[in-house]
Amino acid sequence: MSQLYSQSQSGASGSHVQLQSRLHGLRTSIQSIGDVADDTVRACTAAALDLEELGDSERVAEIDASLRKLIDAQYRLDLERSLVTRLATQLDSLDNVEAEYLSSWEQGMAEYQALDDSGKYGRNEKYRDFRQQLWDLTHEGEPMP
């Protein structure tokens, strides 16, 4: 019986090591996606500035809406990265990793969805910078409201 217990314990430990490794790989992939998203924000900002100079406010509004969707996606990525990091360090102490993940995911998403646009985007540094650059282009020297 103790040999069977020992084998099951080493099997569980091995699967935890494998899971920790996979979680680390996932965390790295999430970071890479986040880096691409940051590049996309910069490209959207440059395009919006060019369009603003041309007076194409309709297209600037489309970029603004797309940027908000990207910020929402970045929140989900950040939440995912946070959960993966936390779960990777707590594998041995959690009874049900899946339940913990789902519960934490739902709580994080509910908190985000409860925010108004000011809470979601007004506090986002990249979005504020985007809006500030657009404002400065057409309102030189005036403070942005």
How much is the pLDDT for 100? 86
Task: From 80, 132, 145, select the one nearest 124 (Cα to Cα).
Answer: 132
* Residue 127 neighbours by CB distance under 10 Å: 20
d(CA 34, CA 124): 14
How much is the pLDDT for 4? 34
Count of positions (residues) in the chain = 145
Angle between helices 125-138 and 57-90 (to 10 degrees): 160
pLDDT along the chain (145 residues), means of 10: 36 66 85 92 96 96 97 94 86 81 95 97 95 92 86
* Residue 48 neighbours by CB distance under 10 Å: 24
Instruction: Establish how many alpha carbons lie within 13 A of residue 41's alpha carbon, considering only the half-sphere containing its beta carbon.
Output: 22
How much is the pLDDT for 10? 43
